[in-house]
Amino acid sequence: METILIVEDDPAIRLGLEKNLAYEGFTVLTAPDGETGLELAFESRPDLIVLDLMLPGLNGYEICRSVRKHDSAVAILILSAKGMESDKVLGLDVGADDYVSKPFSVKEVLARVRALLRKKRALEGEAEPYTFGRAELDFEGRTLRIDGALVETSKKEFELLRLLIRNRGRVLARDQILNRVWGYDYYGTPRTIDNFIQKLREKVERDAAHPEFIRTVRGVGYLFDAP
């Protein structure tokens, strides 16, 4: 599932959003101040950032402007007690995709998060099933079919395959994969990745011993090689 970064100094709001987003199945990272939030944004490359404006240190406008200079794909949802029209206009002008004023409904925030991620997936080509070799991956339905037959995949297997496909043509280090799929608080080993890669190869490759799509880059990690 996608990774969401919450940058919010109010611990009650931060915890409430974290629990609700985690319940929805997202990988959730949190930051209590601007500096930590900006650092996590660059290190973890989340799919979406939920961003407060009034933060200790760097404010939300500065974070939004800095992130947007380096990453045009990440979705940014501002949550703020600053509800004046001018504040909203400025937030959108510096790169935010949406703006919700405090106090807010958690259900509304979740709905806006889902909407922004749907739009992001569509722009990245995930609105339609992705086909390679004998396999067809339905991102929305979270299903994998081989030669038309439904193949069971675990949540982590599906997320790993989606991560590889989204970064096709790019080498991903094992640590990068571990952080994006299992989360930064997971204390696994590179061997975890190797085991899951082998399981995926057995499902999608014609010959798992001689993979055509999920390739090993010795000493680095893995590369998904397909159109």
Domains present along the chain, CATH in parentheses: 3-123 (3.40.50.2300), 154-224 (1.10.10.10)
Q: What pLDDT does residue 102 have? A: 84
Give the distance from CA 11 to its chain's centroid: 23
Range with lowest mean pLDDT among 146-150, 165-169, 178-182: 178-182
Q: How confident is the model at residue 104 (pLDDT cuts 50, 70, 90)?
A: confident
**Measuring CA to CA, which residue among 146, 148, 172 is closest to residue 159?**
172
DSSP at 134: T
- Span 185-199, mean pLDDT? 82
Compute and round to an integer the Cα radius of gyration of the chain: 19
- Span 154-167, mean pLDDT? 88
Interstrand relation of 3-7 and 27-31 (parallel, antiparallel or unpaired): parallel
**Measuring CA to CA, which residue among 41, 46, 47 is closest to residue 60?**
41
In angstroms, rounded to a whole number, what is the distance separating the alpha carbons of residues 88 and 167?
33
Backbone angles phi, psi at 138, to 5 degrees: -100, 105
DSSP at 205: -
Q: What pLDDT does residue 139 have? A: 81
Is it the case that residue 3 has pLDDT exceeding 70?
Answer: yes
Q: How confident is the model at residue 214 (pLDDT cuts 50, 70, 90)?
A: very high
- The tokens 């490759």 sit on which residue? 205
Dihedral through CA 36, CA 40, CA 43, CA 44, nearest 10?
A: 170
Edge-to-edge strand list for the sheet holding 48-52? 27-31, 3-7, 48-52, 75-80, 98-101
Q: What pLDDT does residue 184 have? A: 57
Which tokens belong to 24? 């929805």
pLDDT tens column, 4-58: 999 999 999 999 999 999 988 888 999 999 999 999 998 888 999 999 988 988 9
- Span 74-85, mean pLDDT? 82
Q: What pLDDT does residue 222 have? A: 94
- Span 50-79, mean pLDDT? 88
Q: What pLDDT does residue 152 have? A: 93
DSSP at 105: -
